[in-house]
């Protein structure tokens, strides 16, 4: 089976072709980051309009790169939710219409399931069961994964997502949108020991997260500090250290609770170098293994949707013609 995957939940237009036997045949990504940069965040209306402009040309490119004709495609997967409703509608209507025209089945994929399965795009792929830490701009959650579609949420953020906290704190530090990777870069030139940020909700049992307090703590710290570049880098360092420490503590707890030794991290924040290194260190101590997607598949992309869609189509799932986007959709 060969699947065309389409991702349009936020500000990236992603298209990919995944073949059950051959693996990933092509993937194309168009990022709208520049379009939204002046506004300091994603403008939903602009995002939808840009997906309309970019999606079909990107599908053409992905088909050409994989040397595919429409008759070579056996199914179409698209991100059905969660995400920005207008943006989702572009992907779902194009995907459903193409599937109708090409007489192949379509399937709507949960965006976070796409992230969760992204490490499977490379070898060695993690085996089930495992604990997954999903950290993106919209979600932070720990999930016990027994198989495709068998997900138990162990904990999630009660307020801001980890990526959202990175982006908001980056903004306070005067960095452009999306600030997560820029804050991480600034933190590289920061020194340890100048600031101590809290590790929210680690002093009580449970696996939920709370990141909005860190942003407030950052705002107060920045207000009271000098405006020189080294001070800003030190604040970025302390903020990142606090987020990473918090995530490491909760992952360790989740592994102990479930008795599992396999950890998968995915979603935009899984691109964070410090987080990867710290979790790697923790897993060595626990004599377990940690899996991440390759860098380009940490953030939103079409490959993860094509892969997740293939699994769902093989399990017999089909999207009816009267499809709908699902901007809110629990995993
Ligand atoms: O998964 P994703 O592309 O989109 C959502 O589904 O939300 O995640 C984007 C988020 C943004 O908040 C971005 O700032 C964050 O991931 N991010 C990072 C890094 N790269 C992306 N945060 C921290 N460090 C990074 N290196
Ligand atoms: Zn995402």
11 lines ligand 1 (CB under 6 A): no
ipTM of the complex: 0.99
Best probe residue, ligand 1, of 31, 87, 269, 327 (max atoms within 8 Å of C-beta): 269
Per DSSP, 1 falls in state -
Torsion angle defined by CA atoms of residues 142, 148, 149 and 153, in that order, rounded to the nearest 10 degrees: -10
| Topology (CATH level 3) of domain 2-116+298-314 | Nucleotidyltransferase; domain 5 (3.30.420)
The two tokens of residue 153 are: 């949420």
Mean pLDDT to the nearest integer, 98-114: 98
pLDDT, tens digit, 9 for 90 and up, residues 7-28 = 999 999 999 999 999 999 999 9
pLDDT, tens digit, 9 for 90 and up, residues 292-329 = 999 999 999 999 999 999 999 999 999 999 998 999 99
pLDDT of residue 163: 97
* Band of pLDDT at residue 78, cut at 50, 70 and 90: very high
On average, the pLDDT of the chain sits at 97
Best probe residue, ligand 1, of 161, 166, 175, 186 (max atoms within 8 Å of C-beta): 166
The two tokens of residue 253 are: 């707890």
**HEC profile of 192-246:** CCCCCCCCCCCCCCCCCECCHHHHHHHHHHHHHCCCCHHHHHHHHHHHHHHHHHH
pLDDT of residue 322: 95
121 marked ligand binding residue: no
180 lines ligand 1 (CB under 6 A): yes
pTM score, two decimals? 0.97
| Topology (CATH level 3) of domain 127-292 | Nucleotidyltransferase; domain 5 (3.30.420)
- For residues 15 and 27, the answer to whether their CB atoms sit within 8 Å is yes
pLDDT, tens digit, 9 for 90 and up, residues 225-272 = 999 999 999 999 999 999 999 999 999 999 999 999 999 999 999 999
The two tokens of residue 274 are: 């410090």
Intervals of CATH 3.30.420.40 along the chain: 2-116+298-314, 127-292
């Amino acid at each position: 089976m060969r699947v065309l995957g389409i991702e349009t939940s936020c500000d990236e237009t992603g298209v990919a072709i995944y073949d059950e036997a051959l693996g990933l045949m092509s993937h194309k990504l168009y990022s709208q980051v520049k379009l939204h940069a002046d506004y300091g965040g994603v403008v939903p209306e602009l995002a939808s309009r840009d997906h309309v402009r970019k999606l079909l040309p990107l599908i053409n490119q992905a088909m050409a790169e994989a040397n595919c004709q429409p008759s070579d495609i056996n199914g179409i997967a698209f991100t059905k939710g969660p995400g920005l409703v207008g943006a989702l509608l572009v992907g779902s209507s194009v995907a459903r219409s193409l599937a109708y025209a090409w007489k192949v089945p379509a399937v709507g994929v949960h965006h976070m399931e796409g992230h969760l399965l992204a490490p499977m795009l490379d070898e060695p792929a993690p085996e089930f069961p495992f604990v997954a830490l999903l950290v993106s701009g919209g979600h932070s959650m720990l999930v016990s994964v027994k198989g495709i579609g068998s997900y138990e949420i162990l904990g999630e953020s009660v307020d801001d997502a980890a990526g959202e906290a990175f982006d908001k704190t980056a903004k306070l530090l005067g960095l452009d949108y999306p600030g997560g990777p820029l804050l991480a870069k600034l933190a590289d030139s920061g020194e340890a020991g100048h600031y101590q940020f809290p590790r929210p909700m680690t002093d009580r049992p449970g696996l939920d997260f709370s990141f909005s307090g860190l942003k407030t703590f950052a705002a107060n710290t920045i207000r009271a500090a000098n405006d020189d570049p080294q001070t800003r880098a030190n604040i970025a360092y302390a903020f990142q250290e606090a987020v990473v420490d918090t995530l490491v503590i909760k992952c360790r707890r989740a592994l102990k609770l479930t008795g599992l030794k396999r950890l998968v991290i995915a979603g935009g924040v899984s691109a964070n170098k410090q987080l990867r290194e710290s979790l790697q260190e923790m897993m060595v101590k626990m004599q377990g293994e940690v899996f991440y997607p390759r860098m380009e598949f940490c953030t939103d992309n079409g490959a993860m949707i094509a892969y997740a869609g293939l699994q769902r189509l093989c399990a017999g799932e089909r999207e009816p013609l009267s499809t709908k986007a699902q901007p809110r959709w629990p995993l």
